[in-house]
Structure 1
Amino acid sequence: MGKAMFYHLTRRPLEQALPQLLEASLSRGWKVAVRGPERGRLEWLDEKLWGGRPESFLPHGLSGGPHDAQQPVLLTETADLPNGATCLMAIDGAAVSAEEVNRLERVCLVFNGYEEEAVSVARGQWKTLTGAGCAAEYWSEESGRWEKKAESEGA
Structure 2
Amino acid sequence: MTTEVLFYHLMHQPLEDALPRLLLKCLERDWVVAVQAGNPERRDALNAHLWTFSDESFLPHGTQEDGYPEQQPIYLTAEGDNPNEAQVRFMVDRAQLADLTPYARVVYLFDGNDPEALGEARQTWKAVKAAGHALTYWQQTESGGWEKKA
TM-score range, shorter chain: over 0.9
C-alpha distance in 2 between matches for 1:14 and 1:51: 14
The aligned amino acid for 2:119 is: S
Structure 1 gaps of 5+ residues are 151-155
Amino acid corresponding to residue 65 of structure 2 in structure 1: G
Distance 2:141 2:148 in 1: 11
Q: What is the CA-CA distance between 1:142 and the residue it aligns to?
A: 3.0
Aligned partners of 1:19, 1:75: CA distance in 2, in Å?
A: 13
Within a 5 Å distance, the mapping from 1:27-106 to structure 2 comes to 27-97=28-98, 99-100=99-100, 102-106=101-105
Alpha-carbon distance in structure 1 between the residues aligned to 2:89 and 2:9: 16
Residue 153 of structure 1 corresponds to none
Determine the C-alpha separation between the residues in 1 that align with 2:59 and 2:126: 32
1:148 aligns with 2:148: yes
- Distance in 2 (CA, whole Å) between partners of 1:20 and 1:51 is 13
1:10 aligned partner: 11
The whole-number CA distance in structure 2 between the counterparts of 1:103 and 1:42 is 21
1:66, 1:74 → 2: CA distance? 11
* Structure 1 residue 70, shift from structure 2 partner: 0.4
Look up the SS of the partner of 2:56 in the other structure.
helix
Q: Distance in 1 between matches of 2:14 and 2:64?
A: 23
Alignment: residue pair count: 148
Matching of residue 113 in structure 1 with residue 132 in structure 2: no
Letter in 2 for 1:149: K
> By how many angstroms is 1:143 displaced?
4.6
Q: TM-score, normalised by structure 1?
A: 0.90
% identical aligned pairs: 41
Task: For 2:123 and 2:94, locate their aligned partners in 1 and report how far apart those are by CA, in whole Å.
Answer: 10
* Structure 1 residue 37, shift from structure 2 partner: 2.0
* Distance across 1 between alignment mates of 2:102 and 2:52: 33
Q: CA deviation at 1:103?
A: 3.2
